[in-house]
Structure 1
Amino acid sequence: MSEQTREQSRPPGHHDHREGFLSRLWHELEHLVAPHSHDAADKVDTALESSRDGMRTVWLSLAVLGGTTLAEAAIAAVSGSIALLGDAIHNGADALTALPLGVAFVVGRRAASRSYTYGYGRAEDLAGIVIVLLIAASSALAGYEAIGRLINPREVTHLWAVALGALAGFVGNEWVARYRVRTGRRIGSAALVADGLHARTDGFTSLAVLLGAGGVALGWRAADPVIGLVITVAILSVLRDAGRQVYRRLMDAVDPELIDRAEAALRDMDQVRAVGAVRMRWIGHALRAEADIVVEPALTIVEAHAVAVEAEHALIHAVPRLTAATVHTDHVATPETGDPHAPLGHHGPAAAE
């Protein structure tokens, strides 16, 4: 069972230490049955395992799409179907998206350095940009070919073979799309999800070839290019969705529900008097967080640090795929201590105005 699955299966309120002995006992039993280490080495192992899952998906997808491309190209050579040949070229281009993804997964495994202090996980976001550009190019190519066939219709023979080739293209692309999207969501890779959506557009293009062959069989020569234009619109719709997802990742967007879960976990702690700003961002397959909490001013430095460590522990358990959190402790303002952030007041947004 994955860590995310374990977290979702736990009963609500398992971090609520105010429930007393039973809550603490349940928490300790969880560690005995399913230990959760916070050592850096274990977190690296988890990241590597995610990258291995991604690489396995990428290369298996390449093999499936490569086989589909060869089959379509062979049938296109026999039947003279330009539409099927174009679909084969399209699928071949989709198979080549394995290259930027493969490079991204390899680069993402590199350890953090003094220059790249957060590691190289953002390489996948760059790969996502390349994939979105490939989807855009595919839509342009599909539209261009559809208009070209509409202006200059061409005779197609062996329609049954063309139909089989189109079905093979659709089945292959749909299988690859489901596999990529499922793995991408499991390991938190926006690039892999976008590439899965790209494969789905290629499946739609294959269906256009199938329907076009059916139209030609019924005597409507313009069936293939007309349906090709409709599929181009569908590809543009998927392009919009994939582009939005990659854009959100580049802009450090996260699901607001994750922020809600983090804030709830912090508020459930006995020694936390208030919760300030909570921020998260994706670094490759993992989340990192920053959180401000307010504690009593009478706590010693050692005690306040212990609260911060407990808060990070609670966040890692509450938020799936969170590997680390930086917790800043403030104290409750009193007449004696005043505002703990007063020395920074002249650096705030109001002062800049």
Structure 2
Amino acid sequence: MSHPHHHRHHSLGHRLSHLLKPHSHDTADKVDSALESSARGMRALWVSLAVLGATALLQAVVVVLSGSVALLGDTAHNTADALTAVPLGIAFVLGRRAANRRFTYGYGRAEDLAGLVIVLTIAVSAVLAGWVAVDRLLDPRPVEHVPAVAVAALVGFAGNEWVARYRIRIGREIGSAALVADGLHARTDGFTSLAVLLGAGGAALGWELADPVVGLAITAAILLVLRDAAREVFRRVLDAVDPALVDRAEQALLEVPGVRGVGELRLRWIGHRLRAEVAVVVDDETTVRRAHAVAVAAEHALLHAVPRLTAALVHADPAPAPGEADPHEALAHHVGT
């Protein structure tokens, strides 16, 4: 008898939470939320673009004065990182557009295309940095204005670390994996900027090869970032989600009154928002109206349990009865085709 009492207590607390913190799952409210998150993402992109652009410009001036290929590699990487704001910005703008009869899920997947552009941009910066470093190894030249190179390296680290923290914070708040990945990318760039200090120190000690060797090390660091970024982007393109989210969704469904089991459960990212499709098992004697009410309650539970979930399509299946044919038998010959 303790379970019903607990359920009544939970329902009362749930109603109070609705009164104290009203919310809605109406379509208009979902659109407003998506627009707000996209606007915050855009703001993060343009602010970080300005900071990284100024950092790269200062470093470029020092590159011209000093001839440091290590700093050139770092500048190329910072420039590429700044320019990733452009495809992401376009994706956020497209993501605001409403779904239509051709793009029935909307334009959120533009964020995945932006991720592919970002991966390509990182790859180009790696090729540029590596080519210049190898060229300088074959034809060593002294680095001039070593103190200026050291200062530019410190400025690069400070700019990237600030941008990294800003992008990661906003990306996590709005649910944009692309923005979080871009923030982690910026953080790695900051450490490559510090590596330039080693090259400057070696040049100050008279070791001419220190600068191109550090340039090659930075190229290797860029390739590591490229690997991680490509893995994240291709996972998103292939509709990968964190298995913990699936477990969380399944647990929430099993706690819904009237749900006897969970069948097929699918989650997918569309931009920085999630959608779900799920089949729940209800009592075989349940009326259509009651089964619909259970499905609505299941969707409501998912919207509360899974962060950044905007919609869930819930299908109610009757529990199997002894001697009864499979209710999906008519679809069997379509499976696997």
Q: Could you state the TM-score of these two structures normalised by the residue count of structure 2?
A: 0.93
1:343 aligns with 2:333: no
1:35 alignment partner, one of 22, 34, 41? 22
Note the C-alpha offset of 1:174.
2.1
Residue 226 (structure 1) aligns with: 213
Q: CA offsets per residue over residues 78-108 of structure 1, 9 Å max, x none?
A: 4444543453344223222211111111111
Residue 6 (structure 1) aligns with: none
Q: CA–CA distance in 1 between the matches of 2:4 and 2:136?
A: 69
Residue 144 (structure 1) aligns with: 131
Residue 179 (structure 1) aligns with: 166
Aligned partners of 2:171 and 2:180 also within 8 Å? yes
Aligned partners of 2:53 and 2:82 also within 8 Å? yes
C-alpha RMSD of matched pairs (Å): 1.9
Q: CA offsets per residue over residues 270-307 of structure 1, 9 Å max, x none?
A: 21111111100001111100111111122221111111
What letter corresponds to residue 328 of structure 1 in structure 2? H
Q: CA–CA distance in 1 between the matches of 2:287 and 2:127?
A: 64
- Give the number of aligned pairs: 335
The sequence identity of aligned pairs, in percent, is: 66
Aligned partners of 1:17 and 1:24 also within 8 Å? no
Q: CA–CA distance in 1 between the matches of 2:31 and 2:43?
A: 18
Aligned partners of 1:197 and 1:242 also within 8 Å? no
Q: CA–CA distance in 2 between the matches of 1:92 and 1:343?
A: 57
Aligned partners of 2:76 and 2:129 also within 8 Å? no
Note the C-alpha offset of 1:346.
2.2
Q: CA–CA distance in 2 between the matches of 1:273 and 1:334?
A: 13
Change (3 A) 1:216 1:253: same
Q: CA offsets per residue over residues 294-348 of structure 1, 9 Å max, x none?
A: 1112222111111110110011111111111100001122257532112222222
1:169 aligns with 2:156: yes
The equivalences for 1:117-156 within 5 A come to 117-156=104-143
1:53 aligns with 2:36: no
Structure 1 spans left out of the alignment, 5+ residues? 1-15
1:296 aligns with 2:283: yes
The equivalences for 1:55-74 within 5 A come to 55-74=42-61
1:203 alignment partner, one of 190, 211, 217? 190
Q: 3-state SS of the aligned residue for 1:20?
A: helix
Q: CA–CA distance in 1 between the matches of 2:57 and 2:81?
A: 13
Q: CA–CA distance in 1 between the matches of 2:147 and 2:201?
A: 9
Aligned partners of 2:70 and 2:215 also within 8 Å? no
Change (3 A) 1:315 1:86: closer
Residue 115 (structure 1) aligns with: 102
2:262 alignment partner, one of 251, 261, 275? 275
Q: Could you state the TM-score of these two structures normalised by the residue count of structure 1?
A: 0.89
